Amino acid sequence: MSSADGPLVVGVDSSTQSTKALVVDAATGAVVASGQAPHTVSAGQGRESDPEQWWTALREALRQCGEAAHRASAVSVGGQQHGLVTLDAAGRPVRPALLWNDVRSAPQARRLIDEMGGPKAWAERVGSVPGASFTVTKWAWLAEHEPDAVRATAAVRLPHDYLTQRLTGDGTTDRGDASGTGWWASATESYDDDILARVGLDPALLPRVVRPGEVAGTVHASGELPFSKGTLVAAGTGDNAAAALGLGLRPGTPVLSLGTSGTVYAVSRHRPADPTGTVAGFADARGDWLPLACTLNCTLAVDRVAALLGLDREAVEPGGDITLLPYLDGERTPDLPNASGLLHGLRHDTTGGQLLQAAYDGAVHALLGALGLVLDADADLSVPLLLIGGGARGTAWQQTVRRLSGRAVQVPEARELVALGAAAQAAGLLTGEDPAAVARRWGTAQGPVLDPVEQDAAALARISGVLSDAAPLLDRGPR
């Protein structure tokens, strides 16, 4: 923590597992106070959280920030994407939120794709081919399985929208998070009336989309918060778009994020439309685009394998021809929502460390397979791959990404990039700057660069072969 040279801003990261708040000096990017509080998430195929917990966690995180939060001039919220929050007429949650990693809506996703003209039509219209993660499929699932909840719903929000509304009293969102719903069309940058009609969602239930750089509102009078009355509230955005802001990302620089989910993305000036569905054609929080591929199984899945083996997560060993596809929660990339983990090539001489390394390889393989689709065709492949997220500082993760990518890897020293990106967005309200330029001024992407090593093409080919052969089995799910 440090003293402040300029006005203070608050950046919030409301993630799957917890809410973090940073009070940041808008002049230097120095973090002067921080706080964090946990959430609970249901287990199994259905992943849900009570939005009231997010609000309670935000209040606690801000309380831990002390007087610094009270002195802040602006605040912004970055939040987990895709989650379906349904509110009644009094603004209370109708039911727990359906989270991004709730895959129960896979049948609805497939039906919607067919009913609206197939994958290519969706990609051209919306920018993405919806899978079970997308909010539109979750609303379709809710309408089919819980019609009483749908009838009681007076407002539909995303997780970051919900917290922003609790701050301001107004229903708003931003183009970055809206682009992950499946009912915001990237071709027109507006809600798509045909898709909304198809799933029976009244557009009047949706939040207003705030433009980049626009003030979403001010903190309304409430004894629950440490902010001064009238503190500016930025639009906020989804977690990946916030992290892109936090890195000050320029077009063509690839990011690989290792967290509960794994993501690979880059800023682009071209609107993406991948008919295979591998790349989601998200908007960013500035006015550009953020083509992104996401996996459901990353650090938690590998840690689970380590725990089953009774090994430390760093206790990997080289060698062997074992393949482990760690699809413990179903998978989004590749699109196998019913899948479970699969092990192939186990021998008498296979060691626990080799098995653990195979879990790392399986998790990274899916992300690297999408990297070429995320980047523009003219991208400079010598640019280091930015490695962020909870796993980024793990030696085993770093070495696996280097070995399978064959690229230089840079690990930014700044932590909590989602919260820092939200803080940069809040700072932009005060200074009139592009939030990404604010983050570059703060130097958030600076960090050591690990030189490239020879790509392990044999391992990539082996994993791809097993995945191809096993895809029909994985698609059926466990029986």
Amino acid at 392: A
Whether the upstream peptide bond of residue 334 has omega within 30° of 0, thus cis, is: yes
Alpha-carbon torsion (301, 302, 304, 305), positive or negative: positive
Taking the C-alpha atoms of residue 299 and residue 21, their distance in angstroms, rounded to an integer, is: 23
Cross-strand pairs, 39: none
Catalytic residues, by residue number, are 239
Give dist(CA 288, CA 284) in Å, integer.
6
The torsion angles phi and psi of 437, rounded to 5 degrees, stand at: -65, -35
Closest CA to 396 of 352, 370, 361: 361
- In contact, 197 and 248? CB cutoff 8 Å: no
CA separation for the pair 86, 107 (Å, rounded): 21
Residue with tokens 């074992």: 322
As a whole number of angstroms, the distance between CA 185 and CA 53 comes to: 31
Instruction: Check: CB of residue 392 under 8 Å from CB of residue 414.
Output: no
What is the three-state SS of 137-182? HHHHHHHHHCHHHHHHCCEEECHHHHHHHHHHCCCEEEHHHHCCCC
Q: Which DSSP state fits 42?
A: -
Classify the C-alpha dihedral 193-161-27-265 as positive or negative.
Answer: negative
Give the closest residue to 297 by CA, choosing from 249, 340, 233, 348: 340
Question: Alpha-carbon distance 28 to 325, whole Å?
Answer: 43
Give the chain's end-to-end CA distance (angstroms, integer): 52
Could you give the CA distance from residue 323 to residue 280 in angstroms, rounded to a whole number?
A: 27
